[in-house]
Structure 1
Amino acid sequence: MKSEGKSTINDVARIAGVSKKTVSRVINRSPLLNGETRAKVEAVIEELGYVPNPQARALALRRNFLIGLIHDNPNAQMVLGVQTGILEAIRGTEFALVVHPVDRGSPTMLDDIRSFLDRQRLYGVMLLPPISENDALAQVCREAGARYVRMGSARLDDDIHMVASNDREAVAAATRHLIEQGHSRIGLVAGPHGFRSAAERRAGFEQAMTEAGLKVPRSLVADGTYRFESGIAAGDRLLDVTPRPSAIVCSNDEMAAGVMHAARQRGLTIPDDLSIVGFDDTAIASHIWPPLTTVRWPIIPMARAAAAKLLAGAVEGEDDAEEPSMFLSTLIRRGSVAAVKG
């Protein structure tokens, strides 16, 4: 038997009666092993005093044990939720998270990201919307040899490289909920141009209105930026319309909170005078008064699954984990919606 610190992975595999790849899976804390095999290999590792060399393993992979989060997103709550999901997935592994914000308006964005990937030698990257919608960026990741997963509000890639939500259907369901409460004059605070999420959520709103035979005049659609201040501005615009809407669908919770602020400045009571629906179900939705009816976007499970897709290849020859690629958003009914008066 080897002395402590001198044993090799081949020694561990031979004594445990398993393959070298199985030992690697144990070292990498792969979820694709049963408890009995894991315990047997860990016992041999402890007995031999075998210590894996992270630097050597990284060199063999020609990658560092780093997962990158690349984003240009104005929604801090979304970025925080994604980080939470990734950190849950990599807890107990040797992987670490690197967050890299970019400017999608920069003409050098793709070159900057290519340089970042080459410099950091990331094992894999997660791309947040709206830059995840850029096919050229996905190609940059492939050329750099970095695994990638794109997050979006619709399918953008094959399942290995994608986690998506059903934003269009979710907002359509939320709008139908308002219609069922007797609302027919319903406004929309749309998200920023260039965001697929904004387009999908607007399409869901328009779909539900059209199915109900209701018109959506341009005066009842206001653009926002996913920020609280833009919700105030959009609320002011919509509530200045005569007759004003009895309900407003907002493309995220921050803007919904802004609309609430604008309504209260006018002396309107929510939900008696105005019903409001948001999207995301971030902390703000349950902290404001009345609590916000909103669409719960499963951001943490999506991020956790995306990270698991990246980690699935951490051991050479290991198959991709069968993580889901489509996640369903659900309507959370709270106090900001009531039946229309009369």
Structure 2
Amino acid sequence: MREKVTINDVARLAGVSKRTVSRVLNESPVVAKSSREKVQRIISELGYQPNPQARGLAASRSYLIGLVYDNPDPFFMESVIRGISSVCIEKGYELVIRPSDRTDPNLVDQIINFVSRAQIDGVILPPPISEMDAIAEELEANGVPCVRLAAAQIDEPHRLVISDERSGAKQMTEYLINSGHSRIGYISGPKGLKSTWERREGYLDALRSHDLEVDPDLLIRGAYTFESGVKAGRELLGAPQRPTAIFASNDQMAIGVVNAARELGLTVPADLSVAGFDDHELAAQIIPSLTTIRRPVQLMATLAAQKLIATIDGHHDAASDDCVLNPELVLRDSTAPIS
């Protein structure tokens, strides 16, 4: 078995002190360029991996990043974790995951206690928990940096990565309009979420820009669940003048609409075009495959981790850049031009 490489090995082969190696690992600016490059080359050649606890003691930090979430969608969270983990591995941090209940009245105190007990260096907040200003404000008051993933401008740039979901919803609605649809049903998300508002506004923006009347009977409230999509689909399709297309503001509801259409003997997309939002893993697997808007979740999480670690390391200029990502229209088999 190969012996574990130690900091002593790196220092000996680089011809420097252990303190210099530690400074290079912690990105200290006081190390000369030639020494830094030599140490980094030896680290790469030996495959040296510093111990996070020992490294943390040297730098007065834990090298632990916290992910606090309340999102029941495992596919979404898998993408978030994958994006953050890629940066943590590169930068020598560990990820600590903390599930939460955003309806708990003691949530803010629970998060602060978690951060304190685990000695977390910084926190990433995905939606919907990222939309709770009290959490971000309390973390800041306790000197703990955080970065929020969101659907709109809810904070300063150094604490925010945005998916422009309003433009994504507008893009989908305009695609349906350009396919000849003028009666487009819309199923929104639950009240109180930024994504619900932003996606609905994108749908309305597209109708207005094409001089189409906004028919209140075509707007139904959903809950981002399959069951609410089935219910809303039945309501829209049971109307005297049913829509020729339905845009559900997430994929699970859109799949529910496809199910409701089948119950009524309608064929998708010949009789009804159906579109969703998010590009859930199931969107490409159902029959017909679902036309949707792909939200760049993994990239958002990667950028959030890079911003957070830049802030922790004191590189505030690197963390202050605006990060606004545009969702992508993904055309599949559930939509077609109106016949």
State the TM-score bracket (shorter-chain normalisation).
0.7 to 0.9
Closer, same or farther: CA 37–320 of 1 in aligned 2, 3 Å: farther
Question: Corresponding residue for 2:24?
Answer: 23
Q: Secondary structure at the match of 2:186?
A: strand
- Give the Cα–Cα distance (whole angstroms) in 2 for the partners of residues 45 and 79 of structure 1: 33
Structure 1 residues 65 and 338, CA, compared in 2 at 3 Å: closer, same or farther? same
Check if 1:141 corresponds to 2:147: no
SS in structure 1 of the partner of residue 270 of structure 2: coil
Please, which moves more after superposition, 139-148 or 36-45?
36-45
SS at match of 2:277: strand
- For 1:280 and 1:48, how far apart are their aligned partners in 2? 42
Any conservation in 1 of the 2:7–2:50 contact (CA below 8 Å)?
no
CA distance in 2, matches of 1:213, 1:305: 38
The match for 1:31 is: none
Confirm or deny: 8 A CA contact 1:286 1:292 kept in the other structure.
Answer: yes
Q: Determine the structure 2 residue equivalent to 1:239.
A: 237
**Cα 1:115–1:337 shift into 2, 3 Å:** same
Q: What is the letter of the counterpart of residue 308 of structure 2?
A: L
In the superposition, the TM-score normalised over structure 2's length comes to 0.86
CA distance 1:20–1:178, change in 2 (3 Å) = same
Matches of 2:6 and 2:89 in 1, distance apart?
26
What is the one-letter code of the residue matched to 1:98?
V
Q: Is the 8 A contact 2:276 2:292 kept in 1?
A: yes
How do 1:19-58 and structure 2 match up within 5 A? 23-25=24-26, 40-43=38-41, 52=50, 54-58=52-56
Instruction: Say which is worse superposed, 54-63 or 112-121, in terms of deviation.
Output: 54-63
DSSP 3-state at the match of 1:235: helix
Q: For the residues of structure 2 that align with 1:256 and 1:311, how far apart are their CA atoms?
A: 37
Deviation at 1:224, TM superposition (A): 1.6
- Aligned-residue offset at 1:275: 0.5
| 1:243 Cα deviation after fit | 0.8
Unpaired runs of 5+ residues, structure 2, are none
Deviation for aligned residue 1:213 = 2.0
Q: Check conservation: 1:308, 1:323, Cα contact below 8 A.
A: no
In the alignment, what sits opposite 1:181? 179
Q: Deviations over 1:282-303 (max 9, x none)?
A: 2111111111111111111111
The number of residue pairs the alignment matches comes to 330
Please tell me whether residue 290 in structure 1 is matched to residue 288 in structure 2.
yes
- Asked if 2 retains the 8 angstrom alpha-carbon contact of 1:118 and 1:144, the reply is no
Q: Secondary structure at the match of 1:91?
A: helix
User: How far did 1:167 drift?
Assistant: 0.7
Check 1:101–1:247 CA distance in 2 against 1; reply closer, same or farther (3 A cut).
same
- Equivalent position amino acid for 1:249 in 2: F
Matches within 5 A, 1:1-342: 7=8, 15=16, 23-25=24-26, 40-43=38-41, 52=50, 54-313=52-311, 315=313, 320=318, 325-341=323-339
CA distance in 1, matches of 2:175, 2:41: 57
Identity percentage over the alignment?
41
Matches of 1:332 and 1:232 in 2, distance apart? 22
The code of the aligned residue for 1:177 comes to Y
Distance 2:308 2:331 in 1: 34
Q: What is the letter of the counterpart of residue 185 of structure 1?
A: R
RMSD of equivalent CA atoms: 3.2
> In structure 1, the residue corresponding to 2:275 is in which secondary structure?
strand
- Range that drifts further, 162-171 or 96-105: 96-105
Change in CA separation of 1:291 and 1:111 when aligned onto 2, cut-off 3 Å:
same
Q: Which amino acid aligns with 1:254?
A: Q
Taking the aligned partners of 2:107 and 2:192, their CA distance within structure 1 comes to: 16
| Match of residue 30 from structure 1 | none
In structure 2, C-alpha distance between the alignment counterparts of 1:193 and 1:86, rounded to whole Å:
29
Taking a change above 3 Å as real, the CA distance of residues 323 and 298 of structure 1, as seen in their structure-2 partners, is farther
SS in 1 for 2:147: strand
CA separation in 1, counterparts of 2:295 and 2:47? 46
Give, in angstroms, the shift of residue 63 of structure 1. Answer: 3.4
| Worse-superposed segment, 50-59 or 223-232 | 50-59
Task: State the secondary structure of the residue aligned to 1:280.
Answer: coil
> Which amino acid in 1 is paired with 2:239?
V
Q: Residues 51 and 299 of structure 1: is their aligned pair in 2 closer, same or farther, counting only changes over 3 Å?
A: closer
SS of the aligned residue for 2:276 comes to: strand
Change (3 A) 1:318 1:43: farther
Q: Which amino acid is the alignment partner of residue 127 of structure 1?
A: L
* Cα shift at 1:214: 1.9
Q: Is the 8 A contact 1:130 1:194 kept in 2?
A: no
**Cα–Cα, structure 1 residues 62 and 225, in superposed 2: closer, same or farther, change >3 Å?**
farther
Stretch deviating more after TM superposition (317-326 or 147-156): 317-326
1-structure distance, mates of 2:244, 2:46: 72
One-letter amino acid of the counterpart of residue 147, structure 1: P
